[in-house]
Amino acid sequence: MTENSPPIQPASGPSFDRLPLAPAILATLKQLGYDSMTPIQAASLPITLDGHDLIAQAKTGSGKTAAFALPLLTRLNPRRFAVQAMVLCPTRELADQVTQEIRRLARFIDNIKIVTLCGGATMRPQMASLEHGAHIVVGTPGRIMDHIERESLDLSALNTLVLDEADRMLDMGFYDQIAWVAKQCPRQRQTLLFSATYPEGIAKLARQFLNQPQEVKLTEQHASHKIRQRFYEVTREQRLEAVAALLKHYRPESTLAFCNTKQQCRDLLDLLHAQGFHALTLNGDLEQRERDQVLIQFANRSCSVLVATDVAARGLDIAQLEAVINVDVTPDPEIHVHRVGRTGRADQEGWAFTLSSPTELHRVETIAKMMDIAPEWHELSELNTDAAKLIPPMVTLQILGGRKEKIRAGDVLGALTGEAGFTREQIGKINVTEWNTYVAVTRNIAREAVKRLSAGKVKGKSVKVRALE
Ligand code: ADP
Ligand code: MG
């Protein structure tokens, strides 16, 4: 494994010029302002351009797309009208992003056709695009399977298979689909696997579908100025109470609280509920529908705290997370880095609090060494716990009826802002799932909104509505 600690700032990283890339590609990179390689690109491109299979582990935003797009574009023959490369992604949004990035990088190569194949969209236009000849396909495993089965996608000329965000695809239960699709690809091919984490399923995938892969791993380092880390020493008895104290004092709108065990999650949830916090938990026992409900409420700001183990939180993608609390110190420093990396994303600052018992202090030392920080210790007694209750700004309303009833977000917004008389500002995120629709509304109108929605109509029909509280 190549271990590349502090990430090289793109400006000071190695130049693309040293790679065996076509002049057109080098010119594109220059035009895009890609002056130098990111660490994952510098570590993986020499390997992939040399034709080897690869397992690459690096965090989000590290430039993984170009790391696999450049080798596949290099090998591509634009004059051959056949699918030569395929990228599997977990979601439609990610597939769209990857498609856009490949398009940008392929700008100077004549007439390259890239087709995105995801569920949720109708098959026919996708089939038509494929019929007109695509060089590259990007899509989600289920939909790609559909196309292979209907013989609208021919993979006989494929030379590169990419599994992007492989850990998330596994979290979403795509193992069997990925395996099935990989088996339909020619044996003689290059396979590249990209992942932010390295759970057991990845090793299994790699053993089955990669050929003597080389591994590149970049330990995560986050811009530490964006994450303010504080450590608190606690006794066993103080630990859960300390979580409540942190929440009351810092008042983050959304907090992810990590526990090492499921039991700890249950205990913490009980304590938070007893104190009037709006807290939810994620665990493996939840059905998909329940899991969706929890995530929707957390993401639309009607739940203040999400309590989870590392396993349950895997693959979560929540943009606005003001705080992460390590209720327990994890024995694995990489997991700690991954946990705290969930806050302070994009341009936002985030808090990362860690509660450590005296027996866990050695773990904090290891973490500090790895992150190259001097841990900032604070006292629980500094926390102001007299503050008012922490209440999320929104409430989620559940409407029975979803995609199956052809309900769209616009219908719900229309019902609330039309007949029911609320303003656009009082309505938050709207999520339509197969059977249910969830709409966040500001807390002050929740009760009235339930009443008026129940009395009125959505898409011409009366609906059952309740507040999730
Ligand atoms: P990841 O897949 O690792 O999350 P992306 O491939 O989406 O990351 O890249 C993140 C962003 O960085 C994109 O906006 C991309 O255009 C940009 N980027 C990638 N490589 C470089 C580079 N060498 N120099 C400058 N920007 C880059
Ligand atoms: Mg990516």
Ligand 1 centroid distance, CA of 453 (Å): 44
Of 91, 101, 217, best ligand 1 pocket probe by most atoms within 8 Å of the beta carbon: 101
Tell me, what's the pLDDT at 248?
93
Asked if the model's pLDDT at residue 291 lies above 80, the reply is yes
User: What tens digit of pLDDT does each residue of 76-110 get?
Assistant: 999 999 999 999 999 888 898 899 899 999 988 88
- Tens-place pLDDT, residues 222-260: 555 578 899 999 999 999 999 999 999 999 999 999 999
Q: Whose CA is nearest to atom 9 of ligand 1?
A: 63
Please work out whether the CB of residue 65 comes within 6 Å of at least one atom of ligand 1. yes
pLDDT at 305 over 90: yes
Query: Torsions phi, psi of 415, nearest 5?
Result: -65, -40
* 60 CA closest ligand 1 atom index: 4
- Asked if the model's pLDDT at residue 197 lies above 90, the reply is no
Mean pLDDT (whole number) for 198-221 = 86
Tell me if 423 CB under 6 Å of ligand 1.
Answer: no
Pick the more confident residue, 374 or 84.
Answer: 84
Matching CATH number, 16-217, of 3.30.70.20, 3.40.50.300, 1.20.1260.10, 3.40.50.720: 3.40.50.300
pLDDT of residue 10: 39
Cβ 66 under 6 angstroms from ligand 1: yes
What's the CA-to-centroid distance between 140 and ligand 2, angstroms? 14
Residue 15 has pLDDT above 50, yes or no: yes
Pocket flag, ligand 1, residue 261 (CB < 6 Å)? no
Nearest residue by C-alpha to atom 13 in ligand 1: 63
Fold of 224-382: Rossmann fold (3.40.50)
Q: pLDDT tens for residues 165-182?
A: 998 899 888 999 999 999
Whether 16-217 and 224-382 share one fold: the answer is yes
Superfamily of domain 394-468 in the CATH hierarchy: RRM (RNA recognition motif) domain (3.30.70.330)
Tokens for 354?
């860690």
* Residue 273 CB neighbour total at 10 angstroms: 12
> Which pLDDT band holds residue 346 (cuts at 50, 70, 90)?
low
In this structure, the residue with its CA closest to atom 2 of ligand 1 is 64
Nearest ligand 1 atom to alpha carbon 36: 23
Q: Give the domain ranges of the chain.
A: 16-217, 224-382, 394-468
The percent of residues in the chain predicted with pLDDT above 70, rounded, is 94
